[in-house]
Amino acid sequence: MTQAPAAPKSARRRHDREIVALAVPAFGALVAEPLFVMADSAIVGHLGTAQLAGLGVASALLMTAVGVFVFLAYATTAAVARRVGAGDLRAAIRQGMDGIWLALLIGAAVIAVVLPTAPALMELFGASETAAPYATTYLRISALGIPAMLVVLAATGVLRGLQDTRTPLYVAVAGFVANAALNVGLVYGADLGIAGSAWGTVIAQCGMAAVYLYVVIRGARKHSASLRPEASGIRACAQAGAPLLVRTLSLRAILLIATAVAARLGDADMAAHQIILSLWSLLAFALDAIAIAGQAIIGRYLGSDDAEGARDACRRMVQWGLATGVVLGLLVIVARPLFLPLFSSDSVVQDAALPALLMVALSQPICGIVFVLDGVLMGAGDGPYLAGAMLITLAVFAPVALLVPALGGGLTALWGAMTLMMTIRMLTLWLRSRSGRWIVTGATR
């Protein structure tokens, strides 16, 4: 970041209150999301191994199909927050409606692709002959809920931009409860099997989307914002989201490469890698909550032409990210002996995971800075730089990771490569934040 005097104590306290008010509910909503899959797994698991295996493959594909479009939330948050900062709530909600219309268009396109290709996708991703029919059934039904899932992403971005992370938390919790109840009722009560689980998820997601639409439409009517789709607005949302799509795809490529390398190291290392990756993802929720607060706060400051406020907020959020990373790292170190037996009783798997977990713990302060600066630059609408930086990171990480098995390295070396990846991200993001080029004020970037 550009050098500037430290913010006075009163300003730091104000930033702290804003960060906590936005980050804590955001964390709750983020944690609620994977509970959908966990609930489905727990209920379907009692139907049989083939059904659970089919659910595993289908849900992974479904989450990927939805996850790559997370820019619908990120880009919408930044754009709406800028207009909130500029004091134009009507334009803010109009911008949000464009994001929602884009989500519906993308959702329709994804359905058109997934429905006819579901059996081929199951074969491509290695579903067994016994699991494939269940996976195909689950994917085809669940795909009908993809537009609702994408609307949830876009509408969540609208509310975050409006500085509201509590409503998404309430909707996520209610959605989880409804999903669990519907799954039990349809899978066992109606005896629909895995199809009942899929329909339960679709109904729950549609219900969540309906609540979000009600909230957004009510706001639109209050501020006399148009609800009609506008080609120029939808096109602008797509253009703002395209760089973030490149960033997301690059990050997913990194995770896929890491998993592929772990698979080459042997079953024990692969099992240990899966455990560590699950923990890494859980830790990311805590850090991502601060990043979400950063998107909303930075966008608002820049929209109100307060460049100094944006700098101060960025500086304070980096301190939060670093402190949170240190705390999470210490927790991982302390909990290592207790954490591993929860997932595997195999001593070989535990021995492979222990030193790699130490690497994860040491990298958490780096991760804290990365997540926060990522959120800051998203809030500033600096998507093209984020896309370029992630492509550079991928270009460096890929050969290093692929050399791990060739040079006789193990899982610890692979997670050393993951730490290198996060370090490169931190350097690229820090250089950008220090340059000040991300600071572009006004209602639009």
DSSP state of 436: T
Residues comprising the chain, all counted: 445
Percentage with pLDDT > 70 across the chain: 98
Q: What is the largest CA-CA distance in the chain?
A: 66
Task: Quote the CA–CA distance of 213 and 151 in Å, as a whole number.
Answer: 8
Separation of alpha carbons 172 and 26, rounded Å: 10
Place of tokens 């820019």: 71
CB atoms under 10 Å from CB of 6, counted, come to 10
Of the candidates 405, 332, 317, the residue with the CA atom closest to the CA atom of residue 12: 317
Q: Is 124 left (phi over 0), alpha (psi -120 to 50) or beta?
A: alpha
Residue 3: pLDDT band (50, 70, 90) is very low
268/352 Cα distance (integer angstroms): 7
User: How distant, in Å, are the alpha carbons of 107, 110, 111, 187, 267 from that of 139?
Assistant: 14, 12, 10, 16, 28
- pLDDT tens sequence across 69-94: 999 999 999 999 999 999 999 999 99
- Whether the per-residue pLDDT at 30 is higher than 90: the answer is no
More confident residue, 196 or 278: 196
What are the distances in angstroms from CA 226 to CA 52, 104, 158, 221, 280?
45, 17, 15, 8, 42
pLDDT single digits (tens) 365-402: 999 999 999 999 999 999 999 999 999 999 999 999 99
pLDDT > 70? residue 435: yes
Tokens representing 188 are 């066992």
Name the percent of the chain in helix, strand, coil, to the closest 5: 85, 0, 15
Q: What is the distance between the alpha carbons of residues 386 and 391, in angstroms, rounded to a whole number?
A: 9
| Confidence at residue 346, expressed as pLDDT on a 0 to 100 scale | 78
Query: For the whole model, what pTM was predicted?
Result: 0.90
Average pLDDT of span 349-359 = 89
Higher pLDDT, 32 or 435: 435
Residue 1 pLDDT level (bands cut at 50, 70, 90): very low
- CA atoms of 417 and 432, how far apart (whole Å): 23
Instruction: Reply yes or no on whether the pLDDT at 33 is more than 80.
Output: no
Residues 94-114: tens digit of each pLDDT: 999 999 999 999 999 999 999
Residue 327 has pLDDT above 60, yes or no: yes
User: What band does 216 get if pLDDT is binned at 50, 70 and 90?
Assistant: very high
- Provide the token pair at 17: 């209150």
256 class by beta-carbon count within 10 Å (0-12 exposed, 13-18 middle, 19+ buried): exposed
pLDDT at res. 46? 85
Q: Which of 217-231, 267-281, 415-429 has the lowest mean pLDDT?
A: 267-281
Q: Tell me 188's DSSP state.
A: I
DSSP 57-108: HHHHHHHHHHHTTTHHHHHHHHHHHHHHHTT-HHHHHHHHHHHHHHHHHHHH
User: Tell me, what's the pLDDT at 134?
Assistant: 94
**pLDDT 10s digits, 124-180:** 877 888 999 999 999 999 999 999 999 999 999 999 999 999 999 999 999 999 999
Helix (H, G, I), strand (E, B) or coil at 265: coil
User: First and final CA of the chain: distance in angstroms?
Assistant: 19
Q: Which pLDDT value is given to residue 7? A: 59
Task: Output 242 or 344, whichever has higher pLDDT.
Answer: 242
pLDDT at 118: 94
Q: Decide if pLDDT at 21 tops 90.
A: yes
Query: pLDDT band at 4, cuts 50/70/90?
Result: very low
Over residues 335-339, mean pLDDT:
81
